[in-house]
C-alpha cells in the first residue's frame, strides 16, 4: 500500500515538473547589432564642395595666365581647401587694391620694351626708364594705395583710355605710359616739369595751379626724375 502511494506521488511530481518546463517561455534571442548607415551629405555640404571645386579650377586657370607675364614672380600659396602645392597668385586685377608679391624685372630684359615704346610714342627712352624707376622700381605688379597699376603706375581710367587689357603686362603698361608722357608733353608744349607734374598729380591740378603745384609729393617726384636725367 505504501509503495503504491509513493509511486503515485512520484508519477504526479514528474507530471507537474514536465508541465512546468513546458510552460516556461523560451529565452529571447539576442538582437543582431544594427549597422550604422553611412553619413548622408546634406545639400549645403554638396554646394560647398562644388564651390570649392570651382575655386580650385579658377585658381589653376589664373596661375597659367599670370605665368605668361613672369613665371618666377610669385610665391607658393594655398589652394582653397588644400595644402600648399603649386604657385597660386591672385589674378592681377584693377579691382584688387593690394600689393602682390612680384620680382622686379631685370633691366636687360625690359630694355627692348622701353626702347620700342619710347620710339613709337616719340619720347626719350631715358625719360620712360626714369619714370618707371620712380613709379615702381621696375616691379610689374606694383599697386599704389590710390589704385595705380604696374610698371608706370597707370590709373584704371588711363589704362582704359589707351586700350590696355592687362596693366600688369610690361609691354602694354610701358606702351601706355610712354603715350601718356607724349600726350602731356604736347599739352604743355614740351615743358617737362609740367608734364611730369601732371603725370603725378593730374592735368587738372597742374592747370589750376598754372605751374608745378606746391604738393610735396609732386615736387619730390619731379626733382628725382629730373635729377636722374641730369637736368636739375
164 CB neighbour count, 10 Å cutoff: 22
CA angle 11, 14, 20 (to 5 degrees): 145
The rounded distance, in Å, linking the Cα atoms of 163 and 34 is: 69
Supply the DSSP string of 47-82, one letter for each residue.
HHHHHHHHHHHHHHHHHHHHHTT-TTS--B-PPTTS
Kindly state the cell numbers that stand for 37: 548607415
C-alpha 17/C-alpha 40 separation (Å) is 56
Whole-number Å distance between alpha carbons of 203 and 212: 10
Buried b (16+ CB within 10 A) or exposed e, 101-135: ebebbeeeebeebbeebbeebebebebbbbbbebb
Separation in Å, CA 171 to CA 12, 46, 111, 187, 232: 116, 44, 11, 24, 29
Packing angle, helices 170-187 and 107-121, rounded to 10 = 40
217 catalytically annotated: no
Which of 2, 135, 157, 189 is labelled catalytic?
A: 135
Nearest-angstrom CA–CA distance, 175 and 123: 11
- Give the catalytic positions in this structure: 135
Amino acid at each position: 500500500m505504501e509503495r503504491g502511494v509513493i509511486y503515485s506521488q512520484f508519477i504526479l511530481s514528474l507530471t507537474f515538473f514536465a508541465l512546468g518546463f513546458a510552460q516556461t517561455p523560451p529565452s529571447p534571442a539576442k538582437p543582431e547589432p544594427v549597422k550604422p548607415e553611412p553619413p548622408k551629405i546634406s545639400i549645403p555640404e554638396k554646394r560647398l564642395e562644388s564651390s570649392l571645386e570651382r575655386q580650385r579650377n579658377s585658381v589653376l586657370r589664373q596661375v597659367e595666365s599670370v605665368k605668361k607675364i613672369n613665371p618666377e614672380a610669385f610665391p607658393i600659396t594655398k589652394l582653397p581647401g588644400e595644402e600648399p602645392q603649386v604657385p597660386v597668385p591672385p589674378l592681377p586685377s584693377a579691382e584688387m587694391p593690394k600689393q602682390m608679391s612680384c620680382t622686379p624685372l631685370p633691366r636687360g630684359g625690359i630694355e627692348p620694351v622701353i626702347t620700342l615704346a619710347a620710339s613709337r610714342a616719340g619720347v626719350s627712352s631715358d625719360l620712360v626708364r626714369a619714370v618707371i624707376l620712380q613709379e615702381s622700381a621696375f616691379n610689374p605688379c606694383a599697386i599704389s594705395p590710390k589704385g595705380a597699376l604696374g610698371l608706370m603706375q597707370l590709373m584704371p581710367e588711363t589704362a582704359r583710355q589707351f586700350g590696355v587689357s592687362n596693366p600688369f603686362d610690361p609691354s602694354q603698361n610701358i606702351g601706355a605710359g610712354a603715350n601718356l608722357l607724349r600726350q602731356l608733353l604736347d599739352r604743355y608744349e614740351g615743358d617737362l616739369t609740367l608734364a611730369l607734374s601732371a603725370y603725378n598729380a593730374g592735368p587738372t591740378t597742374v592747370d589750376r595751379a598754372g605751374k608745378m603745384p606746391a604738393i610735396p609729393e609732386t615736387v619730390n617726384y619731379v626733382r628725382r626724375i629730373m635729377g636722374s636725367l641730369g637736368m636739375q
